[in-house]
Amino acid sequence: MSHPLYQLIRCRIKTFFREPEAIFWTYGFPLIMVFGLGIAFRNKPAEIITFDVVQSSGGQRVAEMAKNQSIIVPHLRSVEEANERLRKNKTPVVLEVLADGSYCYHFDPANPDALRAKLLIDDTLQRAAGRRDTVPTSIQQVTAPGSRYVDWLVPGLIGMNLMGSGMWGIGFNLVDMRVRNLLKRLLATPMKRSHFLASMIGTRVMFFAPELTVLLMFAWLLFGVPIRGSLFSLILMTFLGAVTFAGLGLLTACRAKRIETVSGLMNLIMLPMWLMSGIFFSAERFPDFIQPFVQALPLTQINNALRAIMLDGATLASQWLAILILVGWSVLSFTLALRWFRWN
């Protein structure tokens, strides 16, 4: 007779493949995110800044001066039209040449795009007027694989997918089974609680290998994202992340009786990690006093470890702190879920 854990995992796998939505959110949605964000942050030529100049004799002179510049494009407009376009965010900057020949820039300093445009426009016009830097500078564009934003982004998306599939894939399904009274039926069988919870984690972890393979192959073929470290280390680190978030999903849903309740709890747990764990920007941007909390988050550690292995070629042994934190989260979450779990 087959072991009950094997039968439970087999049952969960069959249930998963009978739900097309689950297959899409597990395999399709991460690819769409990688494709969309990869296209958005692909290597592009230098941006051309288009801005408005208030119509005047001085404004005409500025427009003529800017004609020979390749990165700024001015448009002469009346003061009313220029201000209206600025109000509607149709132009980032309005340049007005005052009677004494000085430049007055109209823009929102809280808008980073407008601020960057103002700095670029002013620098270009000052150089065209004859200004020279006291210290020569040069620009070396960084476009090599491994140093681009898309390379940095992909490990974060892998970590985010591990968190989402572990939390939602287990937490939502567990509460759904409780709502439909399926757990009461399982309670009547000669099955251990530990076997049932282990089957939930084991089933979710089994799906991490195809998820990882699809994401890495897609990122490598489409954007040339490298893997400089050991593939074995990368797989083990991802496996540990899948176990960690599966355990958190179990803990979140171990007592919830309604879908609305578990949805709120999962959003409450995942929101700090979405914001602070370095998916789209570095977690080091947060102040020093909050860094202990940020670094204790499991998603922060899995993202840091995946980036170190993929982009820096780090060994698994060098990620011992991340491994220790993830193991701690896994053991704690599964132990508490096993203790607090209820069937109804």
- Domain at 49-128, CATH homologous superfamily: abc type-2 transporter like domain (3.40.1710.10)
Give tens-digit pLDDT for 320-343. Answer: 999 999 999 999 998 898 888 877
Q: Which two tokens stand for residue 40?
A: 């958005």
Q: Which of 122, 207, 162 is nearest to 330 (CA)?
A: 162
pLDDT of residue 223: 77
| Cβ partners under 8 Å of residue 91, min gap 6 | 50, 51, 52, 75, 82, 85
Measure the CA–CA gap between 316 and 240, rounded to whole angstroms.
12
pLDDT of residue 44: 57
Domain ranges of the chain: 4-41+144-340, 49-128
Quickly state the pLDDT bin for 119 (edges 50, 70, 90). confident
The rounded radius of gyration (Å) of the Cα atoms in the chain is: 27
Q: Which of 335, 301, 339, 342 is nearest to 320 (CA)?
A: 301
**Which single residue is written with the structure tokens 């699809």?**
214
Contact 124, 51 (CB under 8 A): no
Residue 106 pLDDT more than 70? yes
Residue 139 pLDDT more than 70? no
Q: Which two tokens stand for residue 326?
A: 């993830």
Contact 290, 277 (CB under 8 A): no
Q: Which two tokens stand for residue 165?
A: 């599939």
Query: Looking at the DSSP assignment, which residues form a beta bridge with residue 52?
Result: 75, 94
206 DSSP assignment: H
Residue 138 pLDDT more than 80? no
Residue 1 pLDDT more than 70? no
Give tens-digit pLDDT for 253-311. Answer: 888 888 778 888 888 888 889 888 888 888 888 888 999 999 999 999 999 999 999 98
pLDDT of residue 296: 93
Give tens-digit pLDDT for 216-253. Answer: 888 888 777 888 888 889 989 998 998 899 889 888 88
Assign residue 146 a region (left: φ > 0; alpha: ψ between -120 and 50; beta: otherwise).
Answer: left
Quick one: what percent of the chain has pLDDT higher than 70?
A: 83
